[in-house]
């Protein structure tokens, strides 16, 4: 049960309602952290724009998605896991890769860029820094813009996770993709 009332369109003020309509028309997300962000429309707009911008940073959708899944697993955020698992499956990320990340294990990734995206996210969050070796490998593999996009994605999705955790944005019971308890 979420700690914040989910505003339906009819209960939004003019600014909230216009933004809701705009984001909906753009195909943007309106659940989870956005239940909170709608209370601060400028933040919601900026969060949406940040996500769209980072998607143009040169990473493949799969590279970005694998990093996002690692961020969600690190923070233990149930709502984004349910939503992003569906997205990952839709872009061809295998169930085995998703299940390994869910279990807190290193997934078998054949693509070296996908592996690096995962490893950077896990190391940066887990150690609160990147080792010189990981930095050098990531810098050699990704262009400058791509690496900025990867680090930005990790940070932006950390905000998403923390918001859903703080507001207890729990996915509905009928969502099939669940985040495993830590250590499971």
Residue 101 near residue 95, CB atoms below 8 Å = no
Q: Right CATH number for 61-166 from 3.40.640.10, 1.20.1290.10, 1.10.10.10, 3.30.420.10?
A: 1.20.1290.10
User: What are the structural domain ranges in the chain?
Assistant: 9-54, 61-166
pLDDT of 159 strictly over 90? yes
pLDDT of residue 157: 97
Task: Give the pLDDT confidence of 39-67 residue by residue, as tens digits.
Answer: 999 999 999 999 999 999 999 999 999 99
CA separation for the pair 44, 77 (Å, rounded): 19
Both structure tokens of 4? 């914040």
CA separation for the pair 16, 42 (Å, rounded): 9
pLDDT of 2 strictly over 90? no
Output b/e per residue, 154-180; b: 16+ Cβ within 10 A.
bebbbebbebbbebebebeeeeebebe
pLDDT of residue 52: 94
pLDDT of residue 170: 84
Residue 82 near residue 177, CB atoms below 8 Å = yes
């Amino acid at each position: 049960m979420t700690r914040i009332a989910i505003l339906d369109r009819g209960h939004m003020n003019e600014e909230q309602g216009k933004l809701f309509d705009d984001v909906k028309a753009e195909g943007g997300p309106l659940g989870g952290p956005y239940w909170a962000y709608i209370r601060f429309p400028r933040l919601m707009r900026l969060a949406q724009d940040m996500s769209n911008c980072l998607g143009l940073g040169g990473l493949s959708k799969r590279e970005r998605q694998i990093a996002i899944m690692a961020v969600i697993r690190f923070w233990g955020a149930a709502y984004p896991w349910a939503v992003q698992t569906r997205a990952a499956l839709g872009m061809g990320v295998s169930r085995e890769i998703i299940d390994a990340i869910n279990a807190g294990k290193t997934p078998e990734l054949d693509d070296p860029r996908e592996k690096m995206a995962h490893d950077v996210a896990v190391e940066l969050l887990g150690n609160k820094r990147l080792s010189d070796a990981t930095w050098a490998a990531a810098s050699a593999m990704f262009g400058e813009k791509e690496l900025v996009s990867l680090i930005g994605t990790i940070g932006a999705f950390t905000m998403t996770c923390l918001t859903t955790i703080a507001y207890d944005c729990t996915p509905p019971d009928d969502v099939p993709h669940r985040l495993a308890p830590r250590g499971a």
